[in-house]
Amino acid sequence: PKTDIVFLKVHKSASSTVMNILFRFGEMHNLTFAFPQGGGFQLYYPHHFLAKFVQGFSPQSPRQFNILCHHMRFLQPEVQKVVPSSAVYFSILRNPVQLMESSFVYYKGASAFSRVRSLEEFLSQPYRYYSPASGDRHYARNLMTFDFGFNPDGEVSPERVQLMLKAIEASFDLLLISEYFDESMVLLKEMLCWDLDSVVSFPLNTRDSSTKSPLPDSVVEKLKAWNRLDWEIYTHFNRTFWERIDRDIGRERMRREVKALRQRQAELARTCLQGTGSVAPKDIKDSSLRPLQHGGARILGYNLKQGLDRELERTCRRLVTPELQYSSLLYKKQFPPQPP
């Protein structure tokens, strides 16, 4: 199994669920993580990544870590200083229309969104609310383009788009698609030579459907146009995703693998969870399993069954521990607080 991994955690794209998979694998195999300085949760995002943002890294004695997976704005020459040269690079993409709808609810306080009531209002005259100069503009336009390190306000010429796609292809071994999450996990498992249980997950950091509303077609078209660079990235890598499945696995075997993954997930849900699945934040009984609530989104969580034996309880708890709590736990393990 491969143990040196760079995961570019793209915002609002099921990336917290992928991060949980990496946390569990890393913990189980005693791997080291490239944590943000001081145990924060982002690597000085939205600045481009620098090696010095990583706890325990110094240019005098460059230390390398197995897994880099916290939010960052990608800059490969700096990333290469903190991970072994054999590291596998991957990321995850989401349809930019749903991505922006999610971003709008989640980052309601961001400057571009703070004065509008709806996405429609924002898109009717975006430049009235959106300023390319504001520090949190990226939440409102071409968020994936930004996370990959490019300029979200760049011109959309065919030449520029091609350069961007080629640069991403040169840096990343695999791009997952969040709409095909289970197929993505099968591809990831194959690439990393992991077993099925290593890529099993429960959806984390997902929001209650009461805050989701379908978008009219006119808005969808405006969203695509406004996030044109993201749309180009998404459509290109959605296509190569399926080409890769056809080439490396085949549709028939993919169906079997996805079925096995879903069966295992259902089995773990029956074993671990009270009720059938996720619950509203107010219904989460164990406060240590309550995810951070952000913006206008209601982020769901889970309740574990009572009376599980110790080993099973530990397995189940890891599957449902929200990102911030899990990150803190692993940070303390890797950098134990010094006794006074």
pLDDT in tens, 255-294: 999 999 999 999 999 999 998 789 999 999 999 999 999 8
- Largest Cα–Cα distance in the chain? 62
Distance separating alpha carbons of residues 21 and 24, to the nearest angstrom: 5
pLDDT in tens, 161-201: 999 999 999 999 999 999 999 999 999 999 999 999 999 99
Identify residue 305 by its one-letter amino acid code.
K
Residue 67: its H or E element: strand 67-68
Under-70 pLDDT residues of the chain? none
Domain boundaries, the chain: 5-334
Which pair of tokens denotes residue 149? 């390190």
pLDDT at residue 46, as a whole number: 96
Residue 168 vs residues 73, 94, 248, 269, 274: alpha-carbon distances, Å: 13, 15, 20, 36, 42
Those residues with Cβ within 8 angstroms of residue 327's Cβ, 6 or more apart along the chain or in another chain: 23, 35, 39, 41, 70
Q: Does domain 5-334 have CATH number 3.30.70?
A: no
Which pair of tokens denotes residue 309? 């034996």
pLDDT at residue 153, as a whole number: 97
Question: Burial level of 143, CB count in 10 A (0-12/13-18/19+)?
Answer: buried
pLDDT at residue 122, as a whole number: 96
pLDDT at residue 188, as a whole number: 98
pLDDT at residue 23, as a whole number: 98
pLDDT at residue 209, as a whole number: 77
Structural contact between residues 96 and 56, judged by C-beta atoms closer than 8 angstroms:
no
pLDDT at residue 286, as a whole number: 95
Pairing of strands 5-8, 67-68: parallel
pLDDT at residue 212, as a whole number: 76
pLDDT at residue 86, as a whole number: 96
